[in-house]
Chains A and B, each alone.
Chain A
Amino acid sequence: MTDEEINTEILLDHYRNPHNHGQIDDASEKLLEFNPVCGDTVQLTIKIDNDTVSDIKFIGRGCSVSQGSASMLTDKVKGMKIEEIKKINEEDIIRMLGLKLGPSREKCALLSLNALQKCIANHEKKAQGGN
Protein backbone atom coordinates (compact mmCIF):
# COMPACT_ATOMS: atom_id res chain seq x y z
CA MET A 1 0.00 0.00 0.00
CA THR A 2 1.24 3.50 -0.81
CA ASP A 3 1.11 6.33 1.76
CA GLU A 4 -1.73 7.84 -0.27
CA GLU A 5 -3.72 4.62 -0.07
CA ILE A 6 -3.07 4.27 3.67
CA ASN A 7 -4.12 7.87 4.27
CA THR A 8 -7.26 7.39 2.16
CA GLU A 9 -8.12 4.36 4.27
CA ILE A 10 -7.56 6.38 7.48
CA LEU A 11 -9.81 9.17 6.20
CA LEU A 12 -12.54 6.73 5.14
CA ASP A 13 -12.33 5.08 8.54
CA HIS A 14 -12.97 8.44 10.19
CA TYR A 15 -15.79 9.07 7.72
CA ARG A 16 -17.51 5.74 8.39
CA ASN A 17 -16.94 5.86 12.16
CA PRO A 18 -16.47 9.49 13.08
CA HIS A 19 -14.84 10.41 16.39
CA ASN A 20 -16.34 13.12 18.61
CA HIS A 21 -19.62 12.84 16.76
CA GLY A 22 -22.63 14.48 18.39
CA GLN A 23 -23.42 17.67 20.24
CA ILE A 24 -22.39 19.14 23.61
CA ASP A 25 -25.48 20.36 25.46
CA ASP A 26 -23.80 23.08 27.56
CA ALA A 27 -21.42 24.22 24.84
CA SER A 28 -19.50 27.50 25.09
CA GLU A 29 -19.75 27.96 21.33
CA LYS A 30 -21.88 26.47 18.57
CA LEU A 31 -21.36 27.18 14.91
CA LEU A 32 -22.50 25.81 11.58
CA GLU A 33 -20.20 26.14 8.59
CA PHE A 34 -21.49 25.35 5.13
CA ASN A 35 -20.29 25.35 1.55
CA PRO A 36 -23.22 26.26 -0.71
CA VAL A 37 -21.44 24.91 -3.79
CA CYS A 38 -21.39 21.28 -2.68
CA GLY A 39 -23.62 21.44 0.39
CA ASP A 40 -20.91 20.20 2.77
CA THR A 41 -21.92 21.11 6.30
CA VAL A 42 -20.20 20.87 9.67
CA GLN A 43 -21.76 22.03 12.93
CA LEU A 44 -19.35 22.30 15.87
CA THR A 45 -20.09 22.56 19.56
CA ILE A 46 -17.10 23.29 21.78
CA LYS A 47 -16.58 23.69 25.50
CA ILE A 48 -13.88 26.06 26.64
CA ASP A 49 -12.46 26.03 30.18
CA ASN A 50 -9.40 28.05 31.22
CA ASP A 51 -8.52 28.97 27.63
CA THR A 52 -8.49 25.31 26.71
CA VAL A 53 -10.88 23.36 24.50
CA SER A 54 -11.95 20.79 27.06
CA ASP A 55 -14.47 19.13 24.76
CA ILE A 56 -15.48 19.35 21.12
CA LYS A 57 -18.06 17.51 19.06
CA PHE A 58 -19.31 17.79 15.50
CA ILE A 59 -22.24 16.74 13.40
CA GLY A 60 -22.51 17.33 9.71
CA ARG A 61 -23.11 15.94 6.31
CA GLY A 62 -21.20 15.96 3.12
CA CYS A 63 -18.32 14.17 1.49
CA SER A 64 -15.72 11.91 3.07
CA VAL A 65 -13.13 14.70 3.00
CA SER A 66 -15.27 17.25 4.85
CA GLN A 67 -16.61 14.81 7.44
CA GLY A 68 -13.45 12.70 7.83
CA SER A 69 -11.30 15.80 8.35
CA ALA A 70 -13.77 17.11 10.94
CA SER A 71 -13.37 13.86 12.86
CA MET A 72 -9.56 14.07 12.67
CA LEU A 73 -9.44 17.76 13.56
CA THR A 74 -11.65 17.35 16.64
CA ASP A 75 -9.33 14.55 17.82
CA LYS A 76 -6.33 16.80 17.29
CA VAL A 77 -7.61 19.89 19.17
CA LYS A 78 -9.37 18.31 22.13
CA GLY A 79 -7.44 19.45 25.23
CA MET A 80 -5.47 22.04 23.27
CA LYS A 81 -4.94 25.66 24.37
CA ILE A 82 -6.81 28.26 22.35
CA GLU A 83 -3.57 30.02 21.53
CA GLU A 84 -2.24 26.79 19.98
CA ILE A 85 -5.42 26.21 18.00
CA LYS A 86 -5.21 29.69 16.51
CA LYS A 87 -1.86 28.73 14.98
CA ILE A 88 -3.30 25.79 13.02
CA ASN A 89 -3.31 26.76 9.37
CA GLU A 90 -4.46 25.29 6.08
CA GLU A 91 -1.17 23.51 5.41
CA ASP A 92 -1.43 21.75 8.78
CA ILE A 93 -4.80 20.29 7.75
CA ILE A 94 -3.55 19.15 4.35
CA ARG A 95 -0.54 17.59 6.09
CA MET A 96 -2.80 15.92 8.65
CA LEU A 97 -4.80 14.28 5.84
CA GLY A 98 -1.72 13.39 3.82
CA LEU A 99 -3.68 13.34 0.57
CA LYS A 100 -3.19 15.03 -2.75
CA LEU A 101 -6.32 17.16 -2.99
CA GLY A 102 -7.24 19.44 -5.85
CA PRO A 103 -8.28 23.02 -5.06
CA SER A 104 -12.00 22.17 -4.97
CA ARG A 105 -11.53 19.28 -2.56
CA GLU A 106 -9.24 21.38 -0.36
CA LYS A 107 -12.26 23.52 0.45
CA CYS A 108 -13.96 20.38 1.79
CA ALA A 109 -10.91 19.61 3.90
CA LEU A 110 -10.79 23.10 5.41
CA LEU A 111 -14.48 23.39 6.28
CA SER A 112 -14.12 22.22 9.90
CA LEU A 113 -10.98 24.31 10.50
CA ASN A 114 -12.89 27.40 9.33
CA ALA A 115 -15.74 26.51 11.66
CA LEU A 116 -13.33 26.04 14.56
CA GLN A 117 -11.48 29.30 13.99
CA LYS A 118 -14.81 31.17 13.80
CA CYS A 119 -15.87 29.55 17.10
CA ILE A 120 -12.65 30.70 18.76
CA ALA A 121 -13.01 34.22 17.32
CA ASN A 122 -16.61 34.42 18.58
CA HIS A 123 -15.51 33.22 22.00
CA GLU A 124 -12.76 35.83 22.24
CA LYS A 125 -15.12 38.58 21.10
CA LYS A 126 -17.48 37.63 23.92
CA ALA A 127 -14.60 37.51 26.43
CA GLN A 128 -13.48 40.98 25.36
CA GLY A 129 -17.05 42.15 25.81
CA GLY A 130 -16.41 41.65 29.53
CA ASN A 131 -18.94 38.87 30.07
Chain B
Amino acid sequence: MRSWQQIKGDFPFFNESGKSLTFLDNAATTQKPKKVIDAIVDYYTRWNSNVHRGIYRLSEEATDHYEKARENIAGFIGSRDPRQLAFVRNATEALNLLAYSLGHGLQQGDEVLLTIMEHHSNIVPWQFLQEKGVKVKFADINPDGTLNMEDFQSKLTKKTRIVSATHCSNLLGTVNDAREMGKLAHDNGSIFILDAAQSVPHMPVDVHMLDCDFMAFSGHKMLGPMGIGGLYGKYELLNGLPPFNGGGEMIREVYTDHSTYADAPEKFEAGTPNVEGAVGLSAAVDYLKVIGMENVREHEKDLISYTFRKEEESGIVMLKSYGPKNPEIRGGIYTFNLGEISPMSLNDNLKNSDISIGSSIHPHDVASGLDMDDVAVRAGHHCAMPLTHRLNVVATSRASYYIYNFREDIDKLFESLERIRRLYA
Protein backbone atom coordinates (compact mmCIF):
# COMPACT_ATOMS: atom_id res chain seq x y z
CA MET B 1 0.00 0.00 0.00
CA ARG B 2 1.17 3.56 -0.70
CA SER B 3 1.95 5.79 2.27
CA TRP B 4 -0.67 8.17 3.63
CA GLN B 5 1.71 11.00 2.73
CA GLN B 6 1.66 9.80 -0.89
CA ILE B 7 -2.12 9.59 -0.75
CA LYS B 8 -2.35 13.20 0.38
CA GLY B 9 -0.28 14.04 -2.70
CA ASP B 10 -3.23 12.90 -4.84
CA PHE B 11 -5.33 15.85 -3.67
CA PRO B 12 -4.90 19.07 -5.68
CA PHE B 13 -6.61 21.02 -2.87
CA PHE B 14 -3.59 20.52 -0.63
CA ASN B 15 -0.97 20.97 -3.32
CA GLU B 16 -2.29 23.48 -5.81
CA SER B 17 -4.80 25.68 -3.98
CA GLY B 18 -2.05 27.67 -2.28
CA LYS B 19 -3.68 27.08 1.08
CA SER B 20 -1.69 25.48 3.86
CA LEU B 21 -4.75 24.37 5.72
CA THR B 22 -5.14 21.68 8.36
CA PHE B 23 -8.53 20.50 7.15
CA LEU B 24 -10.42 18.82 10.00
CA ASP B 25 -13.99 19.19 8.80
CA ASN B 26 -14.35 15.91 6.95
CA ALA B 27 -17.62 14.91 8.60
CA ALA B 28 -19.07 17.93 6.76
CA THR B 29 -17.40 17.29 3.41
CA THR B 30 -14.16 15.91 1.99
CA GLN B 31 -11.57 17.10 -0.51
CA LYS B 32 -11.38 15.38 -3.90
CA PRO B 33 -8.50 13.37 -5.35
CA LYS B 34 -7.33 14.29 -8.86
CA LYS B 35 -8.80 11.03 -10.21
CA VAL B 36 -12.30 12.15 -9.22
CA ILE B 37 -11.86 15.62 -10.69
CA ASP B 38 -10.42 14.08 -13.87
CA ALA B 39 -13.33 11.65 -14.18
CA ILE B 40 -15.80 14.55 -14.11
CA VAL B 41 -13.80 16.59 -16.63
CA ASP B 42 -13.45 13.51 -18.82
CA TYR B 43 -17.17 12.90 -18.72
CA TYR B 44 -17.96 16.42 -19.89
CA THR B 45 -15.11 16.40 -22.40
CA ARG B 46 -15.95 13.09 -24.06
CA TRP B 47 -19.31 11.62 -23.08
CA ASN B 48 -21.76 14.36 -22.21
CA SER B 49 -25.28 13.77 -23.46
CA ASN B 50 -28.56 12.99 -21.80
CA VAL B 51 -28.91 9.39 -20.67
CA HIS B 52 -31.63 6.87 -21.52
CA ARG B 53 -33.76 6.76 -24.64
CA GLY B 54 -31.30 8.66 -26.83
CA ILE B 55 -31.12 6.55 -29.97
CA TYR B 56 -27.74 7.92 -30.99
CA ARG B 57 -24.56 6.18 -29.87
CA LEU B 58 -23.25 8.98 -27.63
CA SER B 59 -26.38 8.85 -25.47
CA GLU B 60 -26.00 5.10 -25.20
CA GLU B 61 -22.39 5.57 -24.09
CA ALA B 62 -23.43 8.13 -21.49
CA THR B 63 -26.10 5.73 -20.23
CA ASP B 64 -23.48 3.02 -20.07
CA HIS B 65 -21.22 5.23 -17.90
CA TYR B 66 -24.13 6.05 -15.62
CA GLU B 67 -25.21 2.43 -15.18
CA LYS B 68 -21.62 1.19 -14.73
CA ALA B 69 -21.27 3.78 -11.95
CA ARG B 70 -24.40 2.38 -10.32
CA GLU B 71 -23.03 -1.15 -10.49
CA ASN B 72 -19.67 -0.10 -9.06
CA ILE B 73 -21.14 1.92 -6.17
CA ALA B 74 -23.73 -0.76 -5.34
CA GLY B 75 -20.94 -3.35 -5.21
CA PHE B 76 -18.91 -1.09 -2.91
CA ILE B 77 -21.62 -1.25 -0.22
CA GLY B 78 -22.00 -5.00 -0.62
CA SER B 79 -25.08 -5.07 -2.83
CA ARG B 80 -25.14 -7.85 -5.44
CA ASP B 81 -27.84 -6.20 -7.54
CA PRO B 82 -27.36 -2.69 -8.91
CA ARG B 83 -31.13 -2.26 -9.13
CA GLN B 84 -31.02 -1.93 -5.34
CA LEU B 85 -29.30 1.44 -5.63
CA ALA B 86 -31.18 4.61 -6.55
CA PHE B 87 -29.17 7.75 -7.14
CA VAL B 88 -30.31 10.70 -5.06
CA ARG B 89 -28.77 14.08 -4.22
CA ASN B 90 -27.44 13.02 -0.82
CA ALA B 91 -28.32 11.10 2.35
CA THR B 92 -30.77 13.86 3.27
CA GLU B 93 -32.75 13.32 0.08
CA ALA B 94 -32.67 9.54 0.56
CA LEU B 95 -34.15 9.90 4.04
CA ASN B 96 -36.77 12.40 2.85
CA LEU B 97 -37.71 9.97 0.10
CA LEU B 98 -38.09 7.14 2.60
CA ALA B 99 -40.14 9.20 5.06
CA TYR B 100 -42.40 10.35 2.22
CA SER B 101 -42.83 7.04 0.45
CA LEU B 102 -42.96 4.79 3.54
CA GLY B 103 -45.13 7.44 5.19
CA HIS B 104 -47.92 6.63 2.72
CA GLY B 105 -48.39 3.30 4.46
CA LEU B 106 -48.42 4.70 8.00
CA GLN B 107 -51.52 5.52 10.00
CA GLN B 108 -52.42 7.48 13.09
CA GLY B 109 -50.84 5.88 16.14
CA ASP B 110 -48.00 4.22 14.23
CA GLU B 111 -44.56 4.90 15.64
CA VAL B 112 -41.16 5.66 14.17
CA LEU B 113 -38.21 4.97 16.45
CA LEU B 114 -35.05 7.08 16.02
CA THR B 115 -32.10 7.70 18.34
CA ILE B 116 -31.28 10.96 20.09
CA MET B 117 -27.97 11.05 18.18
CA GLU B 118 -29.60 11.52 14.77
CA HIS B 119 -28.68 14.26 12.30
CA HIS B 120 -31.57 16.63 11.53
CA SER B 121 -31.94 14.87 8.17
CA ASN B 122 -33.06 11.74 10.01
CA ILE B 123 -35.42 13.65 12.32
CA VAL B 124 -37.23 16.40 10.41
CA PRO B 125 -38.57 14.22 7.52
CA TRP B 126 -40.15 11.90 10.10
CA GLN B 127 -41.60 14.85 12.00
CA PHE B 128 -43.50 15.74 8.81
CA LEU B 129 -45.51 12.54 9.47
CA GLN B 130 -46.64 13.80 12.85
CA GLU B 131 -49.35 15.70 10.96
CA LYS B 132 -51.08 12.40 10.23
CA GLY B 133 -50.73 11.26 13.83
CA VAL B 134 -47.51 9.26 13.55
CA LYS B 135 -45.47 9.33 16.76
CA VAL B 136 -41.71 9.93 16.59
CA LYS B 137 -39.73 8.45 19.49
CA PHE B 138 -36.06 8.74 20.42
CA ALA B 139 -33.85 6.10 22.03
CA ASP B 140 -31.54 7.73 24.57
CA ILE B 141 -27.77 7.50 25.04
CA ASN B 142 -25.66 6.28 27.95
CA PRO B 143 -23.37 8.72 29.80
CA ASP B 144 -20.43 7.53 27.66
CA GLY B 145 -22.22 8.47 24.44
CA THR B 146 -23.11 4.95 23.34
CA LEU B 147 -26.69 4.07 22.50
CA ASN B 148 -28.75 2.94 25.49
CA MET B 149 -29.91 -0.42 24.16
CA GLU B 150 -32.31 -0.97 27.05
CA ASP B 151 -34.05 2.29 26.27
CA PHE B 152 -34.01 1.38 22.57
CA GLN B 153 -35.69 -1.95 23.28
CA SER B 154 -38.24 -0.46 25.68
CA LYS B 155 -39.29 2.08 23.01
CA LEU B 156 -39.56 -0.59 20.35
CA THR B 157 -43.24 -1.49 20.60
CA LYS B 158 -45.93 -3.26 18.63
CA LYS B 159 -46.72 0.11 17.06
CA THR B 160 -43.15 0.69 15.84
CA ARG B 161 -43.38 0.41 12.07
CA ILE B 162 -40.00 1.92 11.26
CA VAL B 163 -36.64 2.11 13.02
CA SER B 164 -34.27 4.64 11.47
CA ALA B 165 -30.86 5.09 13.06
CA THR B 166 -27.44 6.45 12.32
CA HIS B 167 -24.59 4.00 11.81
CA CYS B 168 -22.05 6.53 13.08
CA SER B 169 -22.97 9.71 14.98
CA ASN B 170 -21.69 12.85 13.25
CA LEU B 171 -21.22 14.45 16.67
CA LEU B 172 -20.27 11.74 19.17
CA GLY B 173 -18.44 9.57 16.67
CA THR B 174 -20.24 6.58 18.21
CA VAL B 175 -20.39 3.61 15.86
CA ASN B 176 -23.68 1.90 16.60
CA ASP B 177 -24.19 -1.84 16.51
CA ALA B 178 -26.32 -1.65 13.37
CA ARG B 179 -26.60 -5.38 13.03
CA GLU B 180 -28.02 -5.74 16.53
CA MET B 181 -30.43 -2.81 16.05
CA GLY B 182 -31.57 -4.29 12.76
CA LYS B 183 -32.13 -7.69 14.32
CA LEU B 184 -34.22 -6.20 17.13
CA ALA B 185 -36.20 -4.15 14.59
CA HIS B 186 -36.85 -7.13 12.35
CA ASP B 187 -37.83 -9.38 15.27
CA ASN B 188 -40.36 -6.68 16.08
CA GLY B 189 -41.64 -6.65 12.51
CA SER B 190 -40.29 -3.12 11.88
CA ILE B 191 -38.53 -1.76 8.80
CA PHE B 192 -34.88 -0.95 9.56
CA ILE B 193 -33.22 2.08 7.92
CA LEU B 194 -29.56 2.92 8.35
CA ASP B 195 -28.19 6.45 7.93
CA ALA B 196 -24.71 5.56 6.75
CA ALA B 197 -23.53 9.06 5.79
CA GLN B 198 -20.70 8.87 8.34
CA SER B 199 -19.86 5.18 7.96
CA VAL B 200 -19.72 4.34 4.24
CA PRO B 201 -16.85 6.85 3.70
CA HIS B 202 -14.83 5.59 6.67
CA MET B 203 -15.19 1.82 7.17
CA PRO B 204 -16.18 -1.34 5.34
CA VAL B 205 -19.98 -1.36 5.06
CA ASP B 206 -21.81 -4.41 3.75
CA VAL B 207 -25.59 -4.17 3.41
CA HIS B 208 -25.94 -7.96 3.46
CA MET B 209 -23.92 -8.37 6.62
CA LEU B 210 -25.83 -5.50 8.29
CA ASP B 211 -29.17 -6.76 6.93
CA CYS B 212 -30.67 -3.26 6.78
CA ASP B 213 -33.79 -2.77 4.66
CA PHE B 214 -32.73 0.66 3.42
CA MET B 215 -29.54 2.67 3.68
CA ALA B 216 -28.69 6.29 2.89
CA PHE B 217 -25.30 7.85 2.10
CA SER B 218 -23.74 10.93 0.49
CA GLY B 219 -21.04 11.04 -2.18
CA HIS B 220 -19.33 14.27 -1.17
CA LYS B 221 -18.38 12.89 2.25
CA MET B 222 -16.43 10.07 0.56
CA LEU B 223 -14.24 11.99 -1.92
CA GLY B 224 -17.00 12.24 -4.54
CA PRO B 225 -18.69 15.37 -5.86
CA MET B 226 -21.53 17.21 -4.15
CA GLY B 227 -25.10 16.55 -5.26
CA ILE B 228 -24.87 12.78 -5.60
CA GLY B 229 -25.72 10.14 -3.03
CA GLY B 230 -27.25 6.74 -2.72
CA LEU B 231 -30.42 5.12 -1.48
CA TYR B 232 -29.99 1.37 -1.09
CA GLY B 233 -33.04 -0.84 -0.56
CA LYS B 234 -33.79 -4.55 -0.60
CA TYR B 235 -35.27 -4.84 -4.05
CA GLU B 236 -38.78 -6.05 -3.20
CA LEU B 237 -39.13 -3.33 -0.57
CA LEU B 238 -37.64 -0.60 -2.74
CA ASN B 239 -39.71 -1.51 -5.75
CA GLY B 240 -42.81 -1.68 -3.59
CA LEU B 241 -42.54 1.95 -2.47
CA PRO B 242 -44.65 4.64 -4.11
CA PRO B 243 -42.60 7.20 -6.05
CA PHE B 244 -41.24 10.41 -4.51
CA ASN B 245 -40.70 12.93 -7.33
CA GLY B 246 -42.70 12.73 -10.54
CA GLY B 247 -41.45 13.57 -14.03
CA GLY B 248 -39.41 12.10 -16.83
CA GLU B 249 -37.36 8.91 -16.40
CA MET B 250 -39.54 7.58 -13.59
CA ILE B 251 -42.58 6.71 -15.72
CA ARG B 252 -43.64 3.83 -17.92
CA GLU B 253 -46.66 5.47 -19.56
CA VAL B 254 -48.30 8.84 -19.09
CA TYR B 255 -51.91 9.63 -20.06
CA THR B 256 -53.90 12.73 -19.36
CA ASP B 257 -55.73 11.09 -16.48
CA HIS B 258 -53.10 8.78 -14.98
CA SER B 259 -49.57 7.41 -15.26
CA THR B 260 -47.78 4.17 -14.59
CA TYR B 261 -44.32 4.03 -13.15
CA ALA B 262 -41.01 2.48 -14.02
CA ASP B 263 -39.52 -0.14 -11.71
CA ALA B 264 -36.91 0.78 -9.11
CA PRO B 265 -34.40 2.31 -9.23
CA GLU B 266 -35.62 4.47 -12.17
CA LYS B 267 -38.90 4.99 -10.32
CA PHE B 268 -37.02 7.24 -7.90
CA GLU B 269 -34.91 9.10 -10.45
CA ALA B 270 -37.27 11.66 -11.95
CA GLY B 271 -35.71 14.17 -14.30
CA THR B 272 -32.28 14.26 -15.91
CA PRO B 273 -29.99 12.53 -13.42
CA ASN B 274 -26.66 13.79 -12.10
CA VAL B 275 -24.49 11.73 -14.45
CA GLU B 276 -21.40 13.78 -13.67
CA GLY B 277 -22.02 13.02 -9.99
CA ALA B 278 -22.47 9.29 -10.54
CA VAL B 279 -19.30 9.11 -12.64
CA GLY B 280 -17.36 11.16 -10.08
CA LEU B 281 -18.60 9.07 -7.15
CA SER B 282 -17.73 5.90 -9.02
CA ALA B 283 -14.18 7.21 -9.44
CA ALA B 284 -14.09 7.98 -5.71
CA VAL B 285 -15.18 4.40 -4.97
CA ASP B 286 -12.41 3.08 -7.26
CA TYR B 287 -9.93 5.26 -5.43
CA LEU B 288 -11.07 4.06 -1.98
CA LYS B 289 -11.07 0.42 -3.12
CA VAL B 290 -7.37 0.68 -4.02
CA ILE B 291 -6.57 1.99 -0.53
CA GLY B 292 -8.91 -0.56 1.07
CA MET B 293 -11.65 0.38 3.51
CA GLU B 294 -10.05 -1.75 6.25
CA ASN B 295 -6.95 0.44 5.93
CA VAL B 296 -9.03 3.64 6.01
CA ARG B 297 -10.68 2.43 9.21
CA GLU B 298 -7.36 1.46 10.83
CA HIS B 299 -5.87 4.85 9.93
CA GLU B 300 -8.76 6.70 11.56
CA LYS B 301 -8.64 4.46 14.63
CA ASP B 302 -5.00 5.43 15.00
CA LEU B 303 -5.87 9.14 14.67
CA ILE B 304 -8.68 9.07 17.24
CA SER B 305 -6.58 7.03 19.70
CA TYR B 306 -3.75 9.53 19.26
CA THR B 307 -6.25 12.37 19.84
CA PHE B 308 -7.30 10.96 23.21
CA ARG B 309 -3.64 10.58 24.16
CA LYS B 310 -2.98 14.21 23.22
CA GLU B 311 -6.06 15.28 25.12
CA GLU B 312 -4.70 13.72 28.30
CA GLU B 313 -1.18 15.04 27.78
CA SER B 314 -2.40 18.55 26.97
CA GLY B 315 -3.36 19.20 30.57
CA ILE B 316 -6.03 21.69 29.46
CA VAL B 317 -8.30 21.42 32.49
CA MET B 318 -11.37 22.99 30.89
CA LEU B 319 -11.19 20.65 27.87
CA LYS B 320 -14.12 18.26 27.76
CA SER B 321 -14.85 15.84 24.93
CA TYR B 322 -17.88 13.75 24.12
CA GLY B 323 -18.50 10.19 22.99
CA PRO B 324 -16.99 6.77 23.69
CA LYS B 325 -13.19 6.55 24.01
CA ASN B 326 -12.89 2.98 22.77
CA PRO B 327 -11.60 3.29 19.17
CA GLU B 328 -13.36 0.03 18.22
CA ILE B 329 -16.74 1.76 18.51
CA ARG B 330 -15.60 5.25 17.57
CA GLY B 331 -15.26 6.96 14.20
CA GLY B 332 -12.61 9.60 13.45
CA ILE B 333 -14.68 12.39 14.96
CA TYR B 334 -13.48 14.42 17.96
CA THR B 335 -16.07 16.75 19.49
CA PHE B 336 -15.13 18.93 22.43
CA ASN B 337 -15.60 22.12 24.42
CA LEU B 338 -13.30 24.43 26.33
CA GLY B 339 -15.67 24.79 29.24
CA GLU B 340 -19.37 24.20 28.75
CA ILE B 341 -22.17 26.70 28.19
CA SER B 342 -25.61 25.27 28.90
CA PRO B 343 -28.50 25.89 26.52
CA MET B 344 -31.38 28.23 27.24
CA SER B 345 -34.64 29.24 25.67
CA LEU B 346 -36.39 32.57 25.20
CA ASN B 347 -38.65 31.78 28.14
CA ASP B 348 -35.68 31.73 30.48
CA ASN B 349 -34.63 34.78 32.40
CA LEU B 350 -30.94 35.40 32.87
CA LYS B 351 -29.70 35.95 36.38
CA ASN B 352 -26.45 37.68 37.33
CA SER B 353 -25.25 34.35 38.67
CA ASP B 354 -25.70 32.70 35.26
CA ILE B 355 -22.95 34.66 33.66
CA SER B 356 -20.15 32.45 32.56
CA ILE B 357 -17.66 34.90 31.13
CA GLY B 358 -14.18 33.52 31.66
CA SER B 359 -15.17 30.03 32.75
CA SER B 360 -15.79 28.79 29.24
CA ILE B 361 -14.80 29.70 25.71
CA HIS B 362 -17.68 29.62 23.27
CA PRO B 363 -17.20 27.10 20.41
CA HIS B 364 -17.46 29.97 17.91
CA ASP B 365 -14.49 31.62 19.57
CA VAL B 366 -12.66 28.29 19.60
CA ALA B 367 -13.31 27.73 15.88
CA SER B 368 -12.35 31.32 14.98
CA GLY B 369 -9.20 30.97 17.06
CA LEU B 370 -8.27 27.70 15.33
CA ASP B 371 -8.95 29.35 11.98
CA MET B 372 -6.34 32.01 12.84
CA ASP B 373 -3.88 29.11 13.03
CA ASP B 374 -5.17 27.63 9.74
CA VAL B 375 -6.95 24.75 11.42
CA ALA B 376 -10.45 24.26 9.96
CA VAL B 377 -13.00 22.74 12.35
CA ARG B 378 -16.74 23.14 12.65
CA ALA B 379 -18.52 24.69 15.63
CA GLY B 380 -22.22 24.74 16.43
CA HIS B 381 -24.84 22.07 16.84
CA HIS B 382 -23.65 20.03 13.82
CA CYS B 383 -27.24 19.58 12.60
CA ALA B 384 -27.92 17.59 15.75
CA MET B 385 -29.68 20.08 18.03
CA PRO B 386 -31.56 17.43 20.05
CA LEU B 387 -28.28 15.67 20.82
CA THR B 388 -26.49 18.95 21.61
CA HIS B 389 -29.23 19.83 24.08
CA ARG B 390 -29.16 16.29 25.45
CA LEU B 391 -25.49 16.93 26.25
CA ASN B 392 -26.68 20.11 27.99
CA VAL B 393 -24.52 22.47 25.94
CA VAL B 394 -25.34 25.23 23.44
CA ALA B 395 -22.74 24.07 20.96
CA THR B 396 -19.56 22.07 20.51
CA SER B 397 -16.44 22.20 18.36
CA ARG B 398 -15.68 19.23 16.13
CA ALA B 399 -12.54 17.96 14.42
CA SER B 400 -13.18 15.12 11.97
CA TYR B 401 -10.53 13.13 10.14
CA TYR B 402 -9.96 11.42 6.83
CA ILE B 403 -7.27 9.69 4.81
CA TYR B 404 -5.18 12.85 4.26
CA ASN B 405 -4.94 13.71 7.96
CA PHE B 406 -1.93 12.68 10.05
CA ARG B 407 -0.88 12.82 13.67
CA GLU B 408 0.86 16.14 12.93
CA ASP B 409 -2.55 17.68 12.21
CA ILE B 410 -3.69 16.64 15.67
CA ASP B 411 -0.51 18.09 17.21
CA LYS B 412 -1.37 21.34 15.47
CA LEU B 413 -4.95 21.22 16.76
CA PHE B 414 -3.81 20.90 20.37
CA GLU B 415 -1.07 23.55 20.03
CA SER B 416 -3.68 25.95 18.75
CA LEU B 417 -6.17 25.02 21.51
CA GLU B 418 -3.50 25.79 24.11
CA ARG B 419 -2.90 29.20 22.49
CA ILE B 420 -6.64 29.94 22.55
CA ARG B 421 -6.90 28.88 26.19
CA ARG B 422 -4.13 31.32 27.12
CA LEU B 423 -5.66 34.10 25.03
CA TYR B 424 -8.98 33.91 26.86
CA ALA B 425 -7.58 33.19 30.32
**Chain A: residues with CB nearer than 8 A to chain B?**
12, 15-16, 18, 21-23, 32, 34, 37-41, 43, 59-65, 67, 104-105, 108
Contact = CB atoms under 8 A, between A and B. Distances in A.
A60 to B, nearest CB: 7
B357 interface: yes
A32 B344 CA distance: 11
A67 B360 CA distance: 13
A41 B349 CA distance: 10
Contacts of A37: 380-381
B362 interface: yes
- Of A16, A18, A39, A61, most buried by chain B (CB within 10 Å of CB) is A39
Interface residues of B, number: 26
Interface in B319-345: 341, 343-345
B346 A32 contact: yes
Given A61-B341, A62-B362, A38 B424 contact: no
A15 B357 CA distance: 7
- Of B351, B355, B363, B380, most buried by chain A (CB within 10 Å of CB) is B355
30 contacts: A15-B357, A15-B424, A16-B357, A16-B358, A16-B424, A21-B355, A23-B352, A32-B346, A32-B350, A34-B345, A34-B346, A37-B381, A38-B362, A39-B343, A39-B394, A39-B395, A43-B350, A59-B355, A60-B350, A60-B355, A61-B341, A61-B356, A61-B357, A62-B362, A63-B362, A63-B365, A64-B362, A65-B364, A67-B357, A104-B364
A61 B354 contact: yes
A38 B352 contact: no
Contacts, number: 66
Given A12-B423, A62-B341, A41 B368 contact: no
Nearest to A104: B364
A34 B364 contact: no
Contacts of B346: 32, 34
A100 B341 CA distance: 25
Interface of B: 341, 343-346, 348-352, 354-358, 362-365, 368, 380-381, 394-395, 423-424
B14 to A, nearest CB: 23
B350 A18 contact: no
Contact of A32 (B343, B349, B394): B349
A39 B350 contact: no
Contacts of B364: 38, 63, 65, 104-105, 108
Given A61-B341, A61-B350, A64-B362, A38 B380 contact: yes
Contacts of A63: 362-365
- Of B345, B394, B424, most buried by chain A (CB within 10 Å of CB) is B394
A38 B358 CA distance: 17
A109 B422 CA distance: 23
A39 B352 contact: no
A103 to B, nearest CB: 13
Contacts of B348: 32
A22 B346 CA distance: 19
- Of B345, B350, B357, most buried by chain A (CB within 10 Å of CB) is B357
Given A59-B355, A60-B355, A12 B424 contact: yes
Contacts of B357: 15-16, 18, 61, 67
B300 to A, nearest CB: 28
A22 B344 contact: no
A64 B354 CA distance: 16
A105 B365 CA distance: 9
A65 B358 CA distance: 14
Contact of A41 (B344, B381, B423): B344
A15 B343 CA distance: 20
Nearest to A107: B364
Contacts of A40: 362
A26 B39 CA distance: 69
